[in-house]
Chains A and B, each alone.
Chain A
Amino acid sequence: MKPESEKYDNVLNLLRESKPVLDSTEDIEKEVIKRITKVNHSQLNLPEIIDFLFGWVYIGWVRRGLIAASILLVLVFVFQQGIILKRIGMLSKQTVINDKESVSTPTDEIEKLLMVYKNSGRRFPSKTITISEKQMKELLEKVDELKNKYKELENIIEGDPELKKLIEKKQIETNRTKINL
């Protein structure tokens, strides 16, 4: 047993004395630092963020430059808006005219248009006008439809004395407003 235990001790001593050979200590160092930094980063807090964002306030020329830029921006804004407001003010003093140059077909002329259409043998005096027969038919149908609905409405009003009264009252009010105007 003795020689065996001696052998064991010898091996153990040999192992203890033979340390591992580190041939890339720099890499290990870097890895350790990297891990430490990682740990620190994950623990960033608000004051640090603020310090990071507003670090420039401690650098004199950057601070002065940004303040000057801000003042310039405000001045440009005030100047531009001032000019624009002044010009808009001048515009409001300019003559406003009632525009009679533009034209649109008024709806109350449709009846007359239709009359002309009917009287001219369902054809306009000149064939160069681009209103198709189909469009005209549609228009006539719609007008007839509208007339029928109006008649129906009249019948409903006639059949309901309260509704008739109410509408008559409204009509009187409308006429008064027109007169006042």
Chain B
Amino acid sequence: MKRKSIKLIVSLILMFIVSCDDPETVVTNYVHPDGSVTRKIEMRNLKNIFKKSDFQVPLDSTWIVKDSIEINRKGDTTWIKRAVKQFKNIDEINLAYKSDSGTNKGMLRQVGFRKRFKWFNTEFRFSERIDRQLSFGYPVKDFLNSEELLYFYSPESLKHEKETGPDSLKFRALADSVKHKTDLWSTKNIVSEWIGKFSDLIAERAGKDMTRESLKAREDEFIKVVEANDKKFDSLWSAGIILRKFIGEENALKYKTEADSALGSVTKYFFVSFKDYSVRIVMPGKLIGTNGFIDSSHVLLWPVKSDYFMTEPYEMWAESKIPNTWAWIVSGLFLVFVLSGVIMKVIKKD
């Protein structure tokens, strides 16, 4: 509910922090057929500052780390930290996520691997999943169409390329549309989450007009109140004016503590201190499916941003297959054998 004012402050703080010390991080998972994973991390920073507490992904002394620098044509120096570690299986990666002490330690992240024998081929599935933050939010796909969704999940480099490319006007309009719709999505999420948390807190002593269903039925009404009082939201909420508009004078007095508590909880989960990074996956064999972006070298890429796992789990997955040559040979020989037998019988019959 303090969305825009708080969001602006948080964004500015985050931008300041990011521009200062945060490394730009790309994690690459090289998945092997036996389920082992070679994980490479590349961090780039304009300063030679790589604090462990700023790392977006787990990285400790067990990794092989190499530092280097890069100077561009303008003479700007970029400091690069490259780290690599071989994980025997996904359990080791999950353990690393659990014991992470970096900046994104609060997020529940999990890696999955599946290997399926399908006679002619063996199929592999690798995924990285981040659990959702809000319990009562709306999926973003309810607000954006397929083109907007694609833009929403696109890496920044692609967005920039589109917005400065030949169809720049079209993409700027698309960007504006996505921004407008995601703003509405954010407001609805906050209100919905507040209703959910608030109704949980007052569940035992709530009257019929204060049940979750009755509050939910008035959700659009609440959103209008929030939007109308956006600029003065903080002071109006503190004065209890907004709550009175929501639930009436009597209920506002009765449930003020619970309403404040619910708002505090929503703010905590909505404005998570998450630092963005990118995930790349290199699968064994031939790629047959993914929900990521494919780069020119057939490496898959996903940007990881807090908006993506706000209301739904964010799963980055890829599937590939390796043909079982021996199964192809055995099947071929079997077919030839049966076919020969049948032909022979037909000939002998004649």
B119 with A95: CB separation less than 8 A = no
B interface footprint on A155-168 (CB within 8 Å = 1, 0 otherwise): 00000000000000
B67 with A113: CB separation less than 8 A = no
A112 to B290, CA, bound (A): 40
- Which chain A residues lie closer than 8 Å to B119 at the CB level? 76, 80
CB < 8 Å: which of B80, B296, B344 contacts A103?
B80
- Which chain B residues lie closer than 8 Å to A40 at the CB level? none
Min C-beta distance of B338 to chain A, whole Å = 5
- Which chain B residues lie closer than 8 Å to A105 at the CB level? 68, 70
B335 with A94: CB separation less than 8 A = no
Question: Is A142 interfacial (CB-CB < 8 Å)?
Answer: no
Question: Is A19 interfacial (CB-CB < 8 Å)?
Answer: no
Which residues of B in the span 293-308 have a Cβ within 8 Å of any Cβ on A? 293-297, 299, 301
Question: Is B289 interfacial (CB-CB < 8 Å)?
Answer: yes
A77 to B321, CA, bound (A): 14
A91 with B67: CB separation less than 8 A = no
- Which chain A residues lie closer than 8 Å to B345 at the CB level? 54, 57-58, 63
Question: Is B141 interfacial (CB-CB < 8 Å)?
Answer: no
A96 with B289: CB separation less than 8 A = no
A57 with B121: CB separation less than 8 A = no
Min C-beta distance of A124 to chain B, whole Å = 7
B158 with A54: CB separation less than 8 A = no
- Which chain A residues lie closer than 8 Å to B70 at the CB level? 103, 105-106, 109
Which B-chain residue is minimally distant from A131 (CB atoms)? Answer: B68
Which A-chain residue is minimally distant from B47 (CB atoms)? Answer: A126
Q: A70-B334, A101-B280, A130-B67 are in contact. Are A95 and B293 (CB under 8 A)?
A: yes
Min C-beta distance of B151 to chain A, whole Å = 10
Question: Is A33 interfacial (CB-CB < 8 Å)?
Answer: no
CB < 8 Å: which of A99, A116, A129 contacts B71?
A116
A98 with B157: CB separation less than 8 A = yes
A126 with B48: CB separation less than 8 A = yes
On B, residues with C-beta under 8 Å from A are 26, 28, 42, 44, 48, 66-72, 75, 77-80, 118-121, 150, 154-155, 157-158, 161, 278, 280, 286-290, 293-297, 299, 301, 319, 321, 331, 334-335, 338-342, 344-345
**Could you show 7 A-B contacts with beta carbons less than 8 Å apart?**
A63-B341, A88-B286, A91-B287, A91-B288, A113-B69, A129-B48, A129-B68
